[in-house]
Structure 1
Amino acid sequence: MPALRGHGRLRRRLSAVAAGLVAGALPWVVEAELRFGGVRNRLAEADEVQGGLRAVFSLRAHLTALDGPLLCRPCTGDGVILPVTEWWVLLPLLVGLGLCAEYRARRSAAALWLAVAVAVATAAPYLFLVPYAAPRFLLPAYALLTLPAAAGILAVVHRARTRRSQPTAVVLTLALVGHWGIQAALVHTHAGIQQQARADWDRIASVLREHGVHPPCALAGNSSTIPIAHTMGCTVTETDPPTHPSAVILRERKPPHWARDWPRFPVPDTYNPGWTVVVPP
């Protein structure tokens, strides 16, 4: 920014960073006070939803989640497939090459360093505080790191062209082709996982219809009830309403006390196991 150049630019830059922190935190603090009753309560609720935020190192969980499942929580019973981790090897290598190339060319790499810093800040909570993983968590960090990584690729291409190094060109080409092939396979895998998981809503809706639930209707359950209600054309009501709902949707949970005697019907062949439909007698 031109306003941050010249005399006293360090002080101005620090002031700009401080102002940015305040501008970013202020809406969050205001919302915490108005909606959650304070910052402490908001953090406590976030901690409860995440199953207990704590100091962890969840690198293995993130490596395991690269090829699925949608949510690695917990990651027991699944392992790390080495070929899909190539991105974690290739990306930092290209980032380092890009930063070094900008330094050697005596060009300002401030924008690239900023991208790296923001990527680290974005990924750190998921790597060091959240005890589980999902592939989507680190997508913003990947996107930011592709900027210096692109500079790294250009540096390798420039080296191959200026020195007419066929081995360098061949290695780069094979690395990129292999990377694209693995990423295309992962896209196919995750698309299949998403399709199977979303199909659970139709399976649950079918069981509801089989047992007499049709619009207009009101469903109770957890937050996962919302897409099921949308699929059915129903509304969503609280778990403990003043009037009983048309059905209760549960996953690996017991019905509320007022529906303990209602008939229960398990939903077969679901991607996420444990779905049960509870309907009035």
Structure 2
Amino acid sequence: MDKTGQAMAGRTVVISGASRGIGLAIGIGAAKLGANVVLLAKTAEPHPKLPGTVHTAARDIEDAGGKAVAVVGDVRSEEDVQRVVDTGVEAFGGIDVCVNNASAIATEPTEALSAKKFDLMQDINIRGTFLLTKAAVPHLRRSANPHVLTIAPPLNLSPKWLGAHPSYTLSKYGMTLLSLGWAAEYASDGIAFNCLWPETYIATAAVANSPDAEARLARSRDPAIMADAAVEIISRPAVAHTGECLIDADVLRAAGKHDLREYGGGSNPIVDLFLDEIHSG
């Protein structure tokens, strides 16, 4: 077993929004290395346009070699969030990693954006990240290598991005600012707080249900690239790696993996939101 596998075996990872897409991929990536995974998602029943539920996700994680517990709940609910953390502690004895993955997106222009969608983004993205992290921290303090990983972008203050979809940007940058703030607040506790963001579009349900989906999916990478980068980050020594905004491809290249063709996306993948270009590898 390599160092990453040794670092993950037997550790307990709590993930929000984990019934599909990036959250599920991270759970499977950790499970392949022997981690326990606690999943929080609202999807108890199949959605007509979205594959998978929190229960099918748990089975996928167990099939990958890990142990899983599925919790049906809403990341916006303080009670549900506390319940998922308590479930992880009861089932596996503690929490080692918290992954803030749940997120809502609406990119309509300001005058076309409903107040309901505005509130949803702030509540899921910012409030949900706050609640899950707050509930996990007391248990993370007792972990030998505690990590909080938030799926949020680097802070790019270019007018291109500030003006593109200000309300969504506010919610995602809010997640980033919380993570960077916590890195400073909890530095003496030895808990790592980092952000991870994809270099390119990722082939998730959001892309599959978007306009011109077929063309976009052909230029999107598989969620496995985010999973591999996430596992690399949360396997690092927490005290030495905190307060960073990281890009999936950069993480893998730094770990020695320069050929990313296995993740798809073709020769000209779509650069993700908040990034200006794909780095040469």
TM-score range with shorter-chain normalisation? under 0.3
Q: Which has the larger radius of gyration?
A: 1
The answer to which structure has the higher strand fraction is 2
> Relative contact order, CA 8 A, sep 6+: which one is greater?
2
The answer to which structure has the higher helix fraction is 1
